Amino acid sequence: MAGLQDEVDVLRRISLFANIEPARLKLLAFTSDRVTFSAGQELFHEGDAGDAAYVIIDGAVDVLKDTDDGEQLLVTLKKNAFVGDIAILCDVPRTATVRAVERIETLKIRKEHFLRLLIEFPEMAVEVTRVLAQRLQKTTDDLTACREELSHTQGG
Between the alpha carbon of residue 69 and those of residues 65, 77, 131, the distances in Å are 10, 23, 29
Q: Which of 8, 106, 89, 4 is nearest to 50 (CA)?
A: 89
The SS3 call for residue 79 is coil
The SS3 call for residue 135 is helix
Confidence of residue 130 (pLDDT cuts 50, 70, 90): confident
Mean pLDDT of all residues belonging to the chain: 89
Residue 153 has pLDDT above 50, yes or no: yes
Residue 45 has pLDDT above 90, yes or no: yes
Residue 19 has pLDDT above 80, yes or no: no
Confidence of residue 4 (pLDDT cuts 50, 70, 90): confident
pTM of the predicted structure, to 2 decimals: 0.81
Residue 155 has pLDDT above 80, yes or no: no
> What CATH number does the domain containing 31 carry?
2.60.120.10
Question: Residue 1: what pLDDT?
Answer: 47
Confidence of residue 109 (pLDDT cuts 50, 70, 90): very high
Question: What pLDDT, in 10s, does the model give residues 82-104?
Answer: 999 888 888 889 999 999 999 99
Lowest mean pLDDT among 13-22, 89-98, 136-145: 13-22
Q: Quick check: 89 and 125 in contact, CB under 8 A?
A: no
DSSP string, 82-122: EESHHHHHHT---SSEEEESS-EEEEEEEHHHHHHHHHH-H
* Number of structural domains in the chain: 1
Over residues 49-66, the mean pLDDT reads: 95
Question: Residue 32: what pLDDT?
Answer: 92
Distance of CA 68 to the CA centre of its chain: 24
Domain coverage including residue 143: 4-153
Residues 6+ apart with CB under 8 A from 77: 56, 60, 61, 63, 83
Residue 156 has pLDDT above 70, yes or no: no
